[in-house]
Amino acid sequence: ERAPKEKPTQPALRQARQGPTDEAQMAAAAALARLEQKQPRARGPTSQESIRNQVRKELRAEATVGGSTEAPGSNTVPEAKEEGSAHLAVPGVCFTCPLTGATLRKDQRDAHIKEAILSHFSTDPVAASIMKIHTFNKDRDRVKLGVDTIAKYLDNICLHPEEEKYRKIKLQNRVFQERINCLEGTHEFFEAIGFQKALLPVPDQEGPEEFYVLSEGVLAQPQSLQRHKEQLLVAEPVRATLARQRRLFRPSPMASQFELPGDFFNLTAEEIKREQRLRSEAVERLSVLRTKAMREREEQRELRKYTYTLLRVRLPDGCLLQGTFYARERVAALYAFVREALQNDWLPFDLLASGGQRLSEDESLAFNECGLVPSALLTFSWDAAVLEDIKAAGANPDSSILKPELLAAIEKLS
């Protein structure tokens, strides 16, 4: 009798099913992003199953294409690069001190400004003390309360110069202690405008107390007190301004490639990696229909992700003008930046984003509201009437339009 054939033995453990690779997940995310763009706005929501079917088709198409796994125009977070790399589009974010004109790294600016303000005491103690009050104290509400109280003291002196009580300020007074003594720079201000400390007797009290007393010489010139009061009221904190780090590059096929340092991002290196992981899960997440509120929340998160943006403008001759901006600056700042570089800065021009969108349609928009963060390449375009005039004059519209000193410092984009 024949023995029954033995069935092939099954392996004790099946090999764990492998998930899609990072490349496949990123390709799927790009496919879904394109799918969303293709959906007509007026059409009602389609079913989740139809979306998944379309995604599968997109993925099959992606699988047949070699090369880069990132679709053009996809919203993948670029990897932050270490400063000092030879391939960085800009070494880092830099600032300019308004007092000294020095160019500073982000980690240098606060200490440098404090040092510059302190050194200013030797030349203009009144201005230096005002800068110290507004800059060294970070609580703006407390600063305003203190400044308003000081202004009230000075107003009383100017309005009642004959009354001695207004020329004396008791240092242990509760209002003085709570509103003024707690602020850095206030004592220097009082001394700079002519107050002197003195121990004076207090009625119904055994020992003397410390007062600020206005000198007689200053009292004879009340207009100086009024001037110092106005200076104090209108002053603002001394802040380093963002350095544009303007650079000009020769025409290059690498114009749209940006390697950015880490300080262009609000995210730490760990957060950027986490963001990449979240995006790699987009296949499952984006296949679920999102409400308008969900989309708006995601858009707001995108807007807050970057602090700075690096922008390049391709000029008619192919050269690239580059500058650094705050992500929340207005588009008008870019127009002003380009205009400063032109030989004829009065001629009208336009700047075009990808797809030919004219930025001049609303110059009050911020760069992060236009999607021009953390970097973007734009195209310079002459106003149509200006272009006709240039051609009619027999000039070459593609010739250089920049100031000679900028052309002398042109670089190769590496």
Residue 329 lies in a domain: yes
Q: 189 and 110: one domain? A: yes
- The answer to whether position 174 is within a domain reads yes
- pLDDT above 70: percentage of residues in the chain: 69
Q: Which residues pair with 411 in a beta bridge?
A: 249
pLDDT value of residue 69? 37
Of 219, 241, 263, the position where a domain reaches its end is 241
Kindly state whether residues 329 and 207 are assigned to the same domain.
no
**Residue at 236 is within a domain:** yes
Sheet holding 103-105, edge to edge: 103-105, 94-96, 241-242
Which residues span the domain enclosing 136? 94-241
Question: Measured between alpha carbons, how far is residue 204 from residues 177, 208, 326 in Å?
Answer: 21, 11, 60
Q: Is the pLDDT of residue 266 over 50?
A: yes
pLDDT in tens, 76-135: 344 445 555 557 888 889 999 999 999 999 889 999 999 999 999 999 999 999 999 999
> Of 192, 224, 241, which marks where a domain is finished?
241
Query: pLDDT: is 217 or 239 the higher one?
Result: 239
Integer Cα distance of 320 and 42 in angstroms: 39
Same domain, 122 and 231: yes
Residue 9 pLDDT class (50, 70, 90 cuts): very low
Q: Residue 132: which CATH number?
A: 1.20.58.2190
Whether residue 229 sits in one domain with residue 113: yes
Pick left, alpha or beta for residue 124 (phi over 0 → left; psi -120 to 50 → alpha; otherwise beta): beta
Give the end-to-end CA distance of the chain in Å, rounded to a whole number: 82
pLDDT at position 269, please? 60
CATH code, domain with 315: 3.10.20.90
Which band of pLDDT confidence, cut at 50, 70 and 90, is reported for residue 288? low
Q: Would 276 be classed as within a structural domain?
A: no
307 shares a domain with 235: no
Average pLDDT over residues 285-295: 58
pLDDT of residue 277: 66
Lowest mean pLDDT among 101-110, 287-296, 382-391: 287-296
pLDDT in tens, 18-32: 555 555 555 555 555
Position 356 confidence tier, pLDDT thresholds 50, 70, 90: confident
Q: Are residues 413 and 250 in contact, defined by beta-carbon separation less than 8 angstroms?
A: yes
Residue 34: what pLDDT?
52
| pLDDT for 244 | 96
> What is the rounded distance in angstroms from the CA atom of residue 189 to the CA atom of residue 354?
53
pLDDT at 362 exceeding the cut of 90:
no
Half-sphere exposure in the Cβ direction for 201 (13 Å, CA):
3
Contact criterion met (CB below 8 Å) for 329 and 244? no
Q: What is the pLDDT of residues 323-344, one digit of tens each?
A: 999 999 999 999 999 999 999 8
User: Does residue 403 fall inside a structural domain?
Assistant: yes
**Residue 278 vs residue 223, higher pLDDT:** 223
Q: Is the pLDDT of residue 162 over 90?
A: no
Rounded to an integer, the average pLDDT of 333-358 is 90
CA distance 372 to 329: 11
pLDDT at 264: 80
Tell me the average pLDDT across 204-211. 90
Integer Cα distance of 253 and 275 in angstroms: 29
The answer to the question of residue 149 being in a domain is yes
pLDDT (tens digit, 9 = 90+) per residue, 54-76?
A: 545 544 544 444 333 333 333 33
Report the alpha-carbon distance of residue 92 to residue 224 in Å, rounded.
Answer: 45
Query: Would 197 be classed as within a structural domain?
Result: yes
Q: Convert 269-292 to b/e letters by CB count within 10 Å (16 or more is b).
A: eeebeebeeebbebbeebeeeeee
Q: Which of 244, 263, 398, 407 is nearest to 312 (CA)?
A: 244
Strands 375-382, 308-314: pairing is parallel
Q: Is the peptide bond before 203 cis (omega within 30 degrees of 0)?
A: no
Count of the separate structural domains present in the chain: 2
Within a domain: 275: no
> Is it the case that residue 265 has pLDDT exceeding 90?
no
Q: Say whether both 237 and 308 belong to one domain.
A: no
Whether residue 112 is found in the same domain as residue 233: yes
Q: Can you give the pLDDT at residue 1?
A: 44
Task: Calculate the average pLDDT of the chain.
Answer: 79
Rg (CA), the chain: 32
Residue 302: CB partners within 8 Å, gap ≥ 6? 75, 368
Spatial CA neighbour of 401 closest among 339, 354, 350: 339
User: 231 with 161, same domain?
Assistant: yes
245: pLDDT strictly greater than 80: yes
Mean pLDDT highest for which of 74-88, 278-292, 383-397? 383-397
What percentage of the chain has pLDDT greater than the value 90? 49
Between residues 276 and 90, which one has the greater pLDDT? 90
pLDDT at position 287 over 80:
no
pLDDT at residue 297 in the model? 62
Least confident of 108-117, 236-245, 303-312, 399-408: 303-312
Contact 136, 115 (CB under 8 A): no
